[in-house]
Amino acid sequence: MAGRVKWVTDIEKSVLINNFEKRGWVQVTESEDWNFYWMSVQTIRNVFSVETGYRLSDDQIVNHFPNHYELTRKDLMVKNIKRYRKELEKEGSPLAEKDENGKYLYLDFVPVTYMLPADYNLFVEEFRKSPSSTWIMKPCGKAQGKGIFLINKLSQIKKWSRDSKTSSFVSQSTKEAYVISLYISNPLLIGGRKFDLRLYVLVSTYRPLRCYMYKLGFCRFCTVKYTPSTSELDNMFVHLTNVAIQKHG
C-alpha cells in the first residue's frame, strides 16, 4: 500500500487503536477511502451482503473473510469437510483412499460426525454398530465449552431432546442444532492430561492462496488426568481444555 495506511474500526479497543497509531496509520471514516477495516462479525456480514455486492479493491484488507462462519460454525465446518472429501473422491484423488472398512486413510482428521436433530436416524444406525462407544455433543454456534456433554446411551439423547423442548427458554421451533461426534477414547496426552494446541495463521489472500504461520502458539491443558471411565463422563475437567471451564478446576 503506497503512503500511509488509512484505517477504520467499529471496535473501540485500545489495543487496536494504540497499535495503529504507533505505526503512524491515519484514522478515517467508513465513508472515506480506507485500506484496513477492523470489523465486528456483524459489520462484515452487512458490508459484504449479497444486497450490497461490495468487493475489496487491491489495496484493501479486512480482519475477517466475509463468510468465515463456513469454517467457524461446527455444523458448517463438518458440511464443508464432507463436501471436500466427496470432491476428492470424484476426482480420484489418492487423498480420498479408504481402507477395507471404508474409513479414510488420509482425511481422517475429523471423527464420524452427524448433525442433530437432522441426522438423528443416521446417528442411531451408526451408534448401534458399536453400542459401547462414547459420543460428544456440542452446540453448533457456541464457544468456551458451553453446552457440551458426553453420552454413551441413546436414552441420554432422548432425555436431552425432551429437556430442550420443554425448556422455558428454547421453543421446539428454535431448538438449537448440535453436532455429535464419535469421542476419541485414546487421545494423545501430556503428563496424562488432555491438551490442545493453538497456532496462528494469517491468510493474506485467497486468489492465489497465501498463508503465513506464526512460529509461536500456546497449549491448553485439562486440570484433571484423563480417564476413559464412564463414571467420569460428566466431569468436564477431564474432557474439555477450554480455559473458561478449566480456570475453575
What angle is formed at CA 145 by the lines to CA 143 and CA 151, rounded to 5 degrees? 125
Give how far Cα 180 sits from Cα of 113, 118, 203, Å: 6, 11, 29
Instruction: Name the pTM for this structure.
Output: 0.79
Predicted confidence at residue 163, as pLDDT, reads 76
- If pLDDT is split at 50, 70 and 90, which confidence band does 166 have? low
Q: pLDDT band for position 161 (50/70/90)?
A: confident
The answer on pLDDT for 148 being more than 90 is yes
Q: Are 187 and 226 in contact (CB under 8 A)?
A: yes
Q: Is the pLDDT of residue 175 over 80?
A: no
Q: What is the percent of the chain with per-residue pLDDT over 70, rounded to a whole number? A: 94
Segment 198-247, tens digit of pLDDT: 999 988 888 888 999 999 999 999 999 999 998 999 999 999 999 999 99
21-47 pLDDT, tens digit each: 999 999 999 888 999 999 998 888 888
Predicted pLDDT at 160: 84
The rounded distance, in Å, linking the Cα atoms of 114 and 181 is 7
pLDDT at 171 over 70: no
Asked whether residue 193 carries a pLDDT value surpassing 50, the answer given is yes
- Report pLDDT digits (tens) over 64-105: 877 888 888 999 999 999 999 999 999 999 999 999 888 888
By the 8 A CB rule, do 138 and 179 touch? yes
pLDDT grade for 173, boundaries at 50, 70 and 90: very low
Q: Tell me what the mean pLDDT of segment 14-19 comes to.
A: 92
DSSP the chain: --SSPEEEESS--HHHHHHHHHTT-EE--TTS--SEEE--HHHHHHHTSTTT-----TT-EESS-TTTHHHHSHHHHHHHHHHHHHHHHHHT-GGG-B-TTS-BSSS-SS--EEEETTTHHHHHHHHHHSTT--EEEEETT--TTTT-EEESSHHHHHHHHHHHHH-TT--GGGPPPEEEEE--SS---BTTB-EEEEEEEEEEEETTEEEEEEEEEEEEE-SS-----GGGTT-HHHH---HHHHTT-
Instruction: Categorize the per-residue pLDDT at 168 as very low, low, confident or very high, splitting at 50, 70 and 90.
Output: very low
Domain residue spans of the chain: 6-64, 186-248
